[in-house]
């Protein structure tokens, strides 16, 4: 099977000590949290739940009850200017020696560079990352977690204006309930499309088949905003980040009074935090 994109960087997750529990499975099952309504759908490959059609009408600018139900938390101005500056400095430091890759080996991401960072000596950066993680963890409270915590690193992804992240789902086994991203430097459009696994593919494989043109949801990510993707949008939709030309096309269609005309997709840096996926994927338990 083809190597999966969005695996984080080599070496992750780090091997964890094997933890065997002496209690019987039955006693822990009793304490399992109540499952949200969409949970059963996850195990039903031929059901692709659609988010509210209201979200498909035009670029989504703010969090609404429909967006929340679809599984997207969207917070404007999630980080302060000082936190943003501290994170950008870390990105520059770590990425200085990293060349832009023309194309990722499985073509999901185009024109980009990335690094993983797990230690934040700057208190502003540390505070922002911890707040991101807490927000994502709380947003998925009640979801049946596959893993038992979060990856120790966050990824920084640097996309120049013509860089794009093509439609994909995040790895269905390595990662858990959410993908949490901080959008820095430039506005960007994140596009979601309903997704079905192709007949030769298992539900758990990451790409699936995005349904072109149908049920598309476009969300505007402003600089310093945070998103947490979970639930239906995590499991049943692909997501992508548009390049400058495709973003301009979306913005061109927006009524000027909506306050997103004149946006430009410039260089964009995202900071991505994730939680652990299925135990045992790497032959270790955690
Ligand atoms: C990813 C991804 C989105 C972003 O890394 O899997 O989809 O906001 N990133 O950079
Ligand atoms: Mn992704």
Which residue is closest in CA terms to ligand 1's atom 10?
270
Which residue's alpha carbon is nearest to atom 5 within ligand 1? 6
Domain boundaries, the chain: 40-283
Tell me which ligand sits closest to the C-alpha of residue 219.
1
Chain centroid offset of residue 76 CA: 16
Please work out whether the CB of residue 270 comes within 6 Å of at least one atom of ligand 1: yes
CA of 27 to the centre of ligand 2 (A): 35
Q: Please give all residues whose CB falls under 5 A of ion ligand 2, grouped by chain where several chains appear.
A: 170
Q: Ligand 1: does its nearest atom lie under 6 Å from the Cβ of 271?
A: no
Ligand 1 atom 4, closest CA? 270
Q: Would the CB of 165 count as within 6 Å of ligand 1?
A: yes
CA 222 / ligand 2 centre spacing (Å): 18
CATH topology of domain 40-283: Jelly Rolls (2.60.120)
| Residue 6 in contact with ligand 1 by CB distance below 6 A | yes
Local confidence pLDDT in tens for the 286 residues of the chain: 333 344 444 444 444 433 333 333 333 444 555 544 444 444 433 434 788 999 998 899 999 999 999 999 999 999 999 999 999 999 999 999 998 887 655 567 778 899 999 999 999 999 999 999 999 999 988 776 666 789 999 999 999 999 999 999 998 888 888 999 999 999 999 999 988 766 566 666 666 666 667 899 999 999 999 999 998 899 889 999 999 999 999 988 887 676 665 678 999 999 999 998 877 654 444 4
Q: Is the CB of 239 under 6 A from ligand 1?
A: yes
Site to substitute for ligand 1 among 6, 160, 242, most atoms within 8 A of C-beta: 6
Q: Which two tokens stand for residue 112?
A: 């980009």
Give the pTM.
0.81
Closest C-alpha among 38, 65, 282 to residue 140: 38
DSSP string, the chain: -PPPS---STT-SPP-------S-HHHHHTTPPPPPTTHHHHT-TT--PPPPGGGGSS-B-S--HHHHHHTEEEETT-S-HHHHHHHHHHHHHHHTTPPPEEE-TTSSEEEEEEEEE----SHHHHHHHHHHHHHHHHHTTTS--SSSSB-S-EEEEEE-TT-EEEEE---TTTEEEEEEEEEESS-EEEEEEEEE--TTS-TTSS--EE-TTSS-EEEEE-TTEEEEE-HHHHHTEEEEE--HHHHHHHHHTS-GGGTTTT-----EEEEEEEEE-STTTTS---
Whether the Cβ atoms of residue 188 and residue 269 lie closer than 8 Å to each other? no
């Amino acid at each position: 099977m083809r190597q999966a994109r969005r695996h984080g960087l080599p070496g992750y997750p780090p091997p964890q000590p094997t933890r065997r529990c002496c209690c019987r499975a039955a006693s822990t099952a009793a304490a399992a949290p109540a499952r949200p309504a969409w949970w059963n759908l996850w195990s039903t490959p031929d059901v692709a739940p659609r988010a509210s059609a209201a979200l498909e009408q035009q670029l989504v600018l703010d969090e609404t009850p429909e967006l929340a139900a679809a599984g997207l938390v969207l917070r404007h101005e999630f980080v302060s200017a000082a936190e943003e500056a501290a994170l950008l400095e870390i990105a520059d430091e770590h990425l200085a020696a990293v060349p832009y890759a023309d194309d990722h080996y499985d073509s999901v991401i185009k024109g980009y560079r990335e690094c993983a960072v797990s230690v934040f000596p700057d208190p502003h950066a540390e505070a922002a990352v911890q707040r991101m993680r807490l927000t994502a963890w709380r947003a998925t409270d009640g979801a049946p977690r596959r893993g038992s915590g979060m990856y120790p690193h966050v990824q920084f992804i640097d996309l120049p204006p013509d860089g794009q992240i093509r439609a994909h789902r995040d790895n269905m086994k390595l990662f858990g309930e959410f993908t949490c991203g901080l959008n820095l430097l430039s506005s960007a459009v994140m596009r979601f499309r309903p997704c079905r696994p192709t007949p030769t593919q298992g539900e758990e494989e990451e790409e699936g088949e995005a349904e072109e043109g149908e049920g598309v949801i476009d969300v505007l990510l402003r600089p310093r905003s945070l998103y947490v993707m979970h639930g239906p949008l995590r499991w049943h939709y692909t997501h992508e980040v548009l390049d400058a030309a495709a973003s301009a096309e979306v913005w061109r269609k927006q009524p000027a009074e909506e306050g997103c005309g004149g946006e430009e997709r410039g260089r964009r840096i995202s900071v991505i935090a994730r939680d652990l996926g299925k135990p045992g994927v790497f032959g270790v338990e955690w």
